[in-house]
Structure 1
Amino acid sequence: MASSSKLLKLALPFVRTHGFSREALARSVLELPNGEAHSEPLSDTAVSSLFGEGDNARRTLVNAWLAEGVRYMQTAEEMSSPPPQLREVLRIRLQYNEPVLEHLPEAFGLLATPSSGFHVIAPFPALKHAGRIADEACYAIGDQSLHLSWYSKRASIASIYTAAELHQLVSPNTAYTFLDTLLETSQTVSKSLDEVSLFSDYVFKGWKGIIKSSGIQL
């Protein structure tokens, strides 16, 4: 049997057609190289053994997809010379969302809902998601901010990206224009988010809005 990490990567293309589902994970073995490929998807028991019980398997897939999004940003950045502008970097990440937009609210809902089953939305996955994108964007553009300015800059970028991502789910055709507008007023955004607590609250409310707008019952 191939490793779970290899199968996770093979499962990612199935997210487009099957969403962040156990079925997408089960179909991963169909894409193995000749001689290794299975003729049938994995059994539900095998999916649980490899990726987790119940919705935990789906959370594993969502996290793998988010990690691949960072690699997608890095690949695009490596092909850019000179280093890209912030606008380009954030556009690249929004582009990565496009094939699976209809499935993202449910994916975010899975991450934000504890595996314990309590219907409480936790802010930490939202902050981690926004923070990773902000960190990668700063690295890509060669940002050298120090101390408090480091937090301020990343808070600003993370809040802009979160707002653009929320807008993308509601209005995909105007997402890039909306992002550009936010970046043009980024100085104002940065001033309003100097406090990390305000930033945390902003990102959490943004994700909560994404989840609730989808009609998902949490």
Structure 2
Amino acid sequence: MALSGLTGNVLFRWTPASRYQSTDAFTDDVDPKETQRLKDEETVYETEIRHKILDAALGYVDISGWSKQALAEGSESLGYPGVAHGLFPKGGVELVHHFYQQSNERLASELPADIQEAQLDPLKAKDDLKILRLAVEKRLRMNAEHVFTGKWTEAMGLMALPTNAPSSLKLLAHLVDDMWHHAGDTSPDFSWYAKRAVLAAVYKSTELSMMQDKSEDFRSTWEFLDRRIEDVRKGIAMAGGSIGQMLIPLIMQS
């Protein structure tokens, strides 16, 4: 059984699991496994609704920003009541993180074909920085629409708030890990962390450059990225071929 809104679309559902959650009466004969199954079903349903609303809300970011208003407009566009934004207790940052995660997944899906098209080989050490250069530009271009409209500044501000920073850093960590994976990294030692720290710094500094770039097709940003990649290459060479060794002096100074 489901409770429907005035529009006819189902948002909140009543199920046997709801009854078990609302009262302890008459539950002595309830099968715990069945109760858990119904609760899991309800969780899946709510997750699907959340994703639909988030996807729809992205279409309103240029007008309403990364906000509860955009979430409400996305909800209403699907026929759900505007109060459905209550499914997102953290507000607009959940929309930012949804977009970030979607973009990360898109990069992971498309990057192998781009690497092949560029005739690069993840198994060749000489190609790893070229692959990373390709990956960073491709991922940042996914933000371009929101950079043009000025909304990415708002997104970065939301992600940097203390309450949101842990989740934001986790998304960045997954992003740079995927990039290194596609570049063929299999390091089992300290350099695993060092490589990801260096790439995260390159990515974030290039992202900040992109925010201020007024050149055509972000030409200045990609030139900035080329210089950062070259800095990494020179640093590795000076450290005897190891990113881990390159970072040790910085760690000792901190």
TM-score (norm 1): 0.71
1:86 aligns with 2:132: yes
1:151 aligns with 2:197: no
Q: Give the 3 Å change call, closer, same or farther, for CA 195–20 of structure 1 in structure 2.
A: farther
Match of residue 76, structure 1, among 106, 110, 118: 110
Farther-moved stretch of structure 1 (136-145 vs 86-95): 136-145
Matched residues in 2 for 1:126 and 1:21: separation?
17
Q: Give the 3 Å change call, closer, same or farther, for CA 57–87 of structure 1 in structure 2.
A: same
Which one-letter code corresponds to 1:74 in the other structure? Answer: A
Q: Secondary structure at the match of 2:187?
A: coil
Once the two structures are TM-superposed, the CA of residue 57 in structure 1 deviates from its matched residue by: 1.5
Once the two structures are TM-superposed, the CA of residue 192 in structure 1 deviates from its matched residue by: 5.5
1:185 aligns with 2:223: no
Tell me the residue number matched to 1:170.
212
1:5 aligns with 2:51: yes
Once the two structures are TM-superposed, the CA of residue 195 in structure 1 deviates from its matched residue by: 7.4
Q: Give the 3 Å change call, closer, same or farther, for CA 197–93 of structure 1 in structure 2.
A: farther
Once the two structures are TM-superposed, the CA of residue 134 in structure 1 deviates from its matched residue by: 1.0
Tell me the residue number matched to 1:28.
74
Identical-pair percentage: 26
Once the two structures are TM-superposed, the CA of residue 179 in structure 1 deviates from its matched residue by: 0.7
Q: Secondary structure at the match of 2:186?
A: coil
Contact 1:59–1:111 (8 Å) recurs in 2: yes
Q: Give the 3 Å change call, closer, same or farther, for CA 194–153 of structure 1 in structure 2.
A: farther
Consecutive unaligned residues of structure 2, counting only runs of 5 or more, are 1-10, 12-47, 121-130, 237-242
* Structure 1 residues 31-110: aligned runs within 5 Å: 37-38=78-79, 42-43=81-82, 45-48=83-86, 50-52=87-89, 56-80=90-114, 82=116, 85-101=131-147, 102-110=150-158
Q: Give the 3 Å change call, closer, same or farther, for CA 65–193 of structure 1 in structure 2.
A: farther
Q: Secondary structure at the match of 1:3?
A: helix
Consecutive unaligned residues of structure 1, counting only runs of 5 or more, are 32-36, 116-121, 202-218
Farther-moved stretch of structure 1 (189-198 vs 144-153): 189-198
Which runs of structure 1 show a deviation greater than 6 angstroms over 4 or more consecutive aligned residues?
Answer: 195-198
Q: Give the 3 Å change call, closer, same or farther, for CA 179–81 of structure 1 in structure 2.
A: closer
Once the two structures are TM-superposed, the CA of residue 127 in structure 1 deviates from its matched residue by: 3.5
In our comparison, the structure showing a higher alpha carbon Rg is 2
- Report the aligned-residue RMSD: 2.8
Q: Give the 3 Å change call, closer, same or farther, for CA 61–126 of structure 1 in structure 2.
A: closer
Q: Give the 3 Å change call, closer, same or farther, for CA 162–114 of structure 1 in structure 2.
A: closer
Q: Give the 3 Å change call, closer, same or farther, for CA 107–193 of structure 1 in structure 2.
A: farther
Which one-letter code corresponds to 2:177 in the other structure? Answer: D
Contact 1:145–1:153 (8 Å) recurs in 2: no
CA displacement, residues 137-157 of structure 1 (integer Å, 9 cap, x when unaligned): 112222112211111111111
Q: Give the 3 Å change call, closer, same or farther, for CA 75–18 of structure 1 in structure 2.
A: farther
Once the two structures are TM-superposed, the CA of residue 73 in structure 1 deviates from its matched residue by: 0.9
Match of residue 138, structure 1, among 165, 180, 193: 180
Tell me the residue number matched to 2:64.
18
Tell me the residue number matched to 1:113.
161
TM-score (norm 2): 0.62
CA displacement, residues 56-113 of structure 1 (integer Å, 9 cap, x when unaligned): 2112111111111201211321433528611111111110110112122222222322
